[in-house]
Amino acid sequence: MTEEVKVKVGLSGPPPMKSGFQYVNPGQEDQMEISGYRPSLIRKVIVWFFIIITAGLLRLFFYWLPHLFIKFTHTECSLSEAKVVILKDQYKQWFVSKVKVHSKSGQPAGGVKKDEVMGIAFSKNPYDSNTPLKMGDTKTPTDDHVSSGLVSEVDRILELNRKFVRYFITKKIKYIWSNESQTFKKLEGLDKNTKCSYFHACKGLTYPQQQERVAMFGSNSIQIHVTPIIRILFKEVLSPFYIFQMFSCGIWFADEYYYYASCIVVISVVSISATIYQTRKMQRALRNTIESSTIVSRLHGEDFVDVCSDDLVPGDIISIPRNGCVMQCDAVLLTGNCIVNESMLTGESVPVTKTPLPNPKISKSRGEDILFNLKEHSKHVLFCGTNILQTRFYGSQQVKAVVLRTGFSTAKGELVRSIMHPKPVDFKFNRDTYIFVAILAAIAGVGFIYTVVIMVEEHEAFVDIFLRSMDLITIAVPPALPAALTIGIVFAQRRLKRGQIYCISPRSINVSGTINAVCFDKTGTLTEDGLDMQSVVPVQDGRFAEEVQDIKQLSSDQRLLLNAMTTCHSLTIINGVLSGDPLDLIMFNATEWELEEPGEEEASRYDMIVPTIVRPQGARNGKGTFDQQFVPITEEIAIMRQFTFASSLQRMSVITRKLGATNFELFSKGAPEMIASLSKPETLPSNFHEVLIEYTKKGYRVLALAHRSLPAKLKYAKIQRIQREQVERNLTFLGFLVLENRLKPETTPIIHQLLEANIRTIMVTGDNMLTALSVARECGMVGENQKIILVQAFPGTTGKNDPWLEYMYTEDPQDHHQKSTKETKIAMPDSTDSNYHFALDGRSWAIIRKHFPLTLQKICVRGTVFARMSPDQKSQLIEVLQELGYFVGMCGDGANDCGALKAAHAGISLSEAEASVASPFTSKQPNIECVPTLIRQGRAALVTSFGIFKYMACYSLTQFVSVLILYWIFANLTDFEFLYIDLFLLTSLSVTFGYTNAYDKLSKDPPLVSLFSVAPVLSILLHMLIQTAAQVFCYFNVQDQPWFVPYEVNEDDDYTSYENMAVFVISMYQYVTLAIIFSKGRPYRKTIFTNYLFIANLVVCIGMNLWLNIYPIEDVATFFELKVPPSIPYRLIYLGIAAINFFVDYLIETFIIDSYFVKERLQCWIEDIFSNSKYQYEIVEEEIVRDSSWPNISSAESLAQAFERLDSQQARDFDQSSLLSSLLDSASETQSIRSLRSVEMETSHRDFNGKPALNTGASNTSNNFYGDIDDESQLIADDLDKGVDNLAMDLDEQGPDVNSQKL
């Protein structure tokens, strides 16, 4: 791209690091520049000298900008010598932190020599041999210790040969000094640089170790302090707004404006009191919501001891109670399973099963280990704040977990920190307001000079010159502007709440009004949460059989398909209610089977897990399980092992055993493409992809089911050890499970509404591509006459080294021209051909993002359907759209969409909770009607902010002009005239101004974002020209009247005069006129006639103005110090001038400012002059339009063939590193299995050649276990320990006798 483009929204992620600067958290989202300073006595003396001579004003300035105070009173130095550090984050926010030195016991280390405090030696080798062990071993670890992974990052931090630690705290996070890298590093818990096997080696901490870690990590509590009243008071009083108010009141009191100044003081006191009350109320509410502590069982020695959760530290081993609890820390599960509700984090209340962390050191031969990764191992982590519903455990053993993180470092702590230190909304309107205030201050400076010059020429006293000139500054810069700008946001938030849309970030409301692209999740957002069971399509003899809609009609030959539906799920019973994923519930309920889980009594039998049982409803009816010949009389299946669903694997599996069967069986359920790649080719029907496309094009959600019979030699203990990739292969394809996922009735109208408003709609889902394409057409994202181009990316292969892209139509493009179509316009900026959309899946996204970044921009500009996207990829899409210049909204269910919801400019979570920490907005309405509602209210709030800003600016300038005119004759407005204008007119009108509701329909044209666009600047200039002309005319016109008496300067500062009357009377009409003119209705707000408060306010204000102008009683005129003209017809002239003023202002605003010429032609002409102001997506769109040869469409094969080729390519290119990572994730190593291992080894121990040491009558095929192992099998087998490896089972080559072997 040769043309330099200025992206008008902030880029996502941390900015690039600059040379010559030091950073903490480099490359991370919380990356910050850091610089060190030490005190300088000379600098401090000089600064305090100037503070004294400026009467403390310089200190006040430094209070507002504390980092400058440090820079002026300290000398910059290296971080190793720093006593204070200054940090600047990517949002240009400054933080000052004091560097502290503490001993390992937590006591302040005063008077410590520099060479004694060298900090913590962070080694590049994560397992240095001089690092002490954690488990009470204070000796230098041997190579065996190092290789065994018994050393963690925490151990290295707590090296016993270090006496002191240097650190500082900012944003509730502790940073400690690294002597090696000569910088500060974030204090991490066990979630970083710790090997997985470390957790399984943990034996608990001794008391001294716990105390040492408490001193390092602090208390395990998320403390929200309620700020003392006196502190809030000083903070408010010393803010720039109130300092300016106090300065203004001081000037007014000195100038004897007692009434006006007193009213401002009273209002300020009430405002500060309300702020203190609201602040403390919110802090108390947050504290009561967040802070919690409980009693937990912590391992101490050999026993579990009850302690307060505040005393937990990383490395502690805790016991999870059977009946559940609320987690008070982040912990990794070691033994047992937990059913968890993570709605506090995700907004999704579906129970989640957490399984034990696998121990990768089960292989004695490989000796390899992997680092624990919080993201990859999240299904083994119990997060702080989540609710443990119940646990599953082994016999008498505890469900144990190792504490990973505590306090503000936990998942809950991070959310609280994001609330306490929110990401600033870097909105252009907000930046422009500061610039505009600076311009008003410059205008006030001109008035200041004007006042000084004319008063010096008249030899006025210095005090009078000072008071008059300062008074002018308080007029030109409106002190109430910040409060006035929040009015529209406050009313919008109230209206959103009435619409059941809750907001935790009010500053995001204005930003939501600028959204021009919205990403939607599909399932649960565009489509119904629940699915309807449509049918199953079984496979028989390698071919698809007839579709079966009634599951009970499945034949005996299709019994395996029924068994797959009854067992392959993650359902559990919670408080007597079957709970779990909605899809699993619908599938299981359709079978009319029942599920039984072990009770507490059964769970402790035999020192092993009692499995979950499924059986047909009423199968027992009081009968036993076996008959007299010990033959099962009921069909019962036990679920022995569950491989949970993983987005990266796109499948889940279970290992089951049928009552009376001789072997275990595996059932898998998942994405059709994935299951097909794991199935034996001969079991796949030849028309697999054609049938799949037939269903998905109709919008059905299709899952595939598969089966595998495991050899009888595979015993229970091995089942609990075996890794999923070892058994999830060479499956027998059983058929399709077809579910109807209907669109919500609100979806299609809302999508059309957004498209008609030129707002892009994008679907980003984890579902099947063909289903997503069908839903996109059905809901109107893609019009009937518009083409969809499927983008497929292929990685480099042996024959073709470079990755390549292919483009093909998802349907025959000629089909669209043969249909009776109704065109749906997609929002493409000034595109001459917006008749096609791109669609791609997550796998292609990853390849394109890595190898084709420029093409990715084009695809994102035209992309509408993004399928099979992982949660990370959803966030990446949001970020790319933002980098292109879009203002992006995201609407999802809050579960897998958390990252995307947070990354978007306005994320909306569809949740039952009133406020979800997953996104700025939460809608209790479970449909996308909230999206246009939010955009409409955001637009109304933004336009209200624009209108109020223009009103406040024109009010200040109008009053500024009035005072300048009167200053010419050394007069001014009177005390009560100021009071009437500022309190009665301005305050009431600016408050009711923002009460107008949003317009019912979204406009095609988005509202302005910049105050320095042509329209608002021209509006203020033209209106001020009219206001000035009217005031000048009245000022000179009154002097031409025969009864006119000129004003005479007097010592009492009595400003009663005809000149004062003329300027005051016309100006009070002008304030009302400006309020009406700037209170616009369509297309973003309703007409002002629907704002009854504003209309009533206008009636009262106009009535008061008419009374003061035409016939004020004598007492009122005396009160206002108003000299009333003797001629009533002359008084009516002001009414006529005000009417002319109103109509001229109305004509200017309606036919000039809002004209197409100004808003479009003139604005575009100016933007063309400043070409770098274009959005990047506009440049990319222009390139697409110019390049008619791109994309190069391939039409050599059908869509089914393309998907078949893509699936085969995916199977060939399966990444072995991903395989190994997933492999290690799936092996649930537990203490109870170890206890069973010894039992099993007694009965089935084998030598290294894979032959049985003891002949137990097994089939001879068991000697063939290593008969034919391919590379993948070898990779998997190598990761088993000798106790399993030496069983030498080839699961792929089993004779027919194995399955007939009896137990």
| Residues that are catalytic | 521
Distance, CA of 418 to CA of 1189 (rounded, Å): 47
Place of tokens 């007069």: 971
Q: Point out which residues pair with 173 in neighbouring strands.
A: 170
Handedness of CA 922, 924, 926, 931 (dihedral sign): negative
Nearest Cα residue to 766 out of 705, 691, 701, 704: 701
Sheet of strand 100-103, all strands in order from the earlier edge strand to the far edge: 100-103, 164-170, 173-178, 183-186
User: Reduced to 3 states, what is the DSSP secondary structure of residue 995?
Assistant: coil
How many other C-beta atoms can be found within 10 angstroms of the C-beta atom of residue 538?
22
Distance, CA of 695 to CA of 449 (rounded, Å): 79
**What is the Cα Rg of the chain in Å?**
37
Torsions phi, psi for 194 (to 5 deg)? -125, 130
Nearest Cα residue to 882 out of 414, 433, 426, 431: 426
How would DSSP label each residue in 445-506? Answer: HHHHHHHHHHHHHTT--HHHHHHHHHHHHHHHS-TTHHHHHTHHHHHHHHHHHHTTEEES-T
Torsions phi, psi for 417 (to 5 deg)? -65, -35
Distance, CA of 768 to CA of 869 (rounded, Å): 10
- Pairing of the two strands 760-764 and 517-520: parallel
SS3 of the chain: helix, strand, coil, percent, to 5: 45, 15, 40
- Say if CB 504 and CB 745 are below 8 A apart: no
- CA triple 771-773-778, angle to 5 deg: 95
Place of tokens 């020695």: 301
Distance, CA of 1117 to CA of 1122 (rounded, Å): 5
Which residues does 915 contact at the CB level (< 8 Å), separation at least 6?
502, 504, 922
- Say if CB 963 and CB 1033 are below 8 A apart: no
Nearest Cα residue to 317 out of 297, 294, 338, 299: 299
Distance, CA of 240 to CA of 477 (rounded, Å): 13
Place of tokens 């109107």: 780
Which residues does 1036 contact at the CB level (< 8 Å), separation at least 6?
none
- Say if CB 664 and CB 657 are below 8 A apart: yes
Cα–Cα separations (whole angstroms), residue 1009 to 432, 485, 1006, 1015: 9, 14, 9, 11
